[in-house]
């Protein structure tokens, strides 16, 4: 089984979906580390309850972002993490971190990329007036939400939607899509040809 690490900044509902899939044996891997840049993140409590080793790496404890990332990387290596999954991790990882880590890094984003990159993707979709949005699981590269796409799920934008109602509808899709896509990667069931990712 592949050893999967997760980084999460907050609520951790995607982490919870991964934990549930893991417990059902649906992940082709095991969750072995949960790290956060916020000591108070609910994600850390969820890890604790699931018996997963977890660590807090708040910036305040380090002299720089570089030192913070180094500590995270060292810890992930100690836990022998083979796939890194970002689940609501609200910091952009540096080019150096991504070059050094040498394992696949996945992210989930609450829009159909390449539309609405960056923060407040659901707000951006509402403001633009699109009628369909959704979520995207992708490999992380050095850009902002720009890496090769592994999976997407569309959801409708409905008349009267607010940022909260659209976010909730997208989040339901996230909770289905992320465990499935992580399972494909952990199970070696995808092939990558440059930016094109194909499920085998
Ligand atoms: C999710 O909607 C995720 O797609 C989004 O943050 C939320 C985290 O929720 N991520 C981003 O916007 C990344 N740019 P969670 O903590 O409950 O999983």
The interface pTM score, or ipTM, of the predicted complex is 0.99
Q: pTM for this one? A: 0.98
Centroid of ligand 1 to alpha carbon of 10 (angstroms)? 8
| Ligand 1 nearest-atom number relative to CA 88 | 8
Give percent of the chain with pLDDT exceeding 70.
100
Q: Ligand 1 within 6 A of 5 CB?
A: no
Query: What does the H/E/C string look like for 95-123?
Result: HHHHHHHCCCEEEEECCCCCCCCCCCHHH
pLDDT tens figures, 124-166: 999 999 999 999 999 999 999 999 999 999 999 999 999 999 9
Determine the length of the chain. 200
Give the model's pLDDT for residue 114. 98
Centroid of ligand 1 to alpha carbon of 107 (angstroms)? 9
Band (pLDDT 50/70/90 cuts) for residue 42 is very high
The predicted model gives 63-70 an average pLDDT of 98
Band (pLDDT 50/70/90 cuts) for residue 98 is very high
Whose CA is closest to atom 10 on ligand 1?
A: 88
The predicted model gives 12-34 an average pLDDT of 98
Band (pLDDT 50/70/90 cuts) for residue 16 is very high
User: Sign of the CA dihedral 41, 152, 143, 124?
Assistant: negative
| Other Cβ atoms within 10 Å of 176 Cβ, number | 14
Beta-bridge partner residues of 109? 136
Q: Under DSSP, is residue 22 helix (H, G, I), strand (E, B) or coil?
A: helix
Band (pLDDT 50/70/90 cuts) for residue 68 is very high
Give the model's pLDDT for residue 147. 97
Q: Ligand 1 within 6 A of 88 CB?
A: yes
Mean pLDDT of the chain: 98
Give the model's pLDDT for residue 48. 98
Q: Distance between alpha carbon 58 and the CA centroid of its chain, in Å?
A: 18
Give the model's pLDDT for residue 81. 98
Q: Ligand 1 within 6 A of 179 CB?
A: no
The predicted model gives 53-74 an average pLDDT of 98
The predicted model gives 24-41 an average pLDDT of 98
């Amino acid at each position: 089984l592949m050893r999967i690490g997760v980084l999460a900044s907050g609520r951790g509902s995607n982490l919870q979906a991964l934990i549930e899939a893991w417990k059902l044996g649906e992940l082709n891997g095991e969750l072995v580390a949960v790290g956060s840049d916020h000591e108070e993140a609910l994600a850390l409590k969820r890890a604790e309850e699931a018996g997963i080793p977890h660590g807090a790496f708040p910036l305040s404890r380090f002299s720089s972002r570089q030192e913070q990332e180094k500590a995270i990387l060292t810890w992930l290596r100690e836990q022998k993490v083979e796939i890194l999954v970002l689940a609501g991790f609200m910091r952009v990882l540096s080019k150096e971190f991504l070059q050094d880590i040498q394992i696949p890094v996945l992210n989930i984003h609450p829009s159909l990329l390449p539309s609405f990159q960056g923060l407040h993707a659901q707000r951006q979709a509402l403001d633009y007036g699109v009628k369909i949005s959704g979520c995207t699981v992708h490999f992380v590269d050095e850009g902002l939400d720009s890496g090769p796409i592994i999976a997407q799920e569309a959801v409708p934008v409905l008349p009267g939607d607010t940022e909260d109602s659209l976010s909730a509808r997208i989040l339901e899709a996230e909770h289905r899509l992320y465990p499935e896509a992580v399972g494909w990667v952990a199970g070696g069931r995808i092939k990558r040809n440059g930016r094109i990712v194909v499920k085998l």
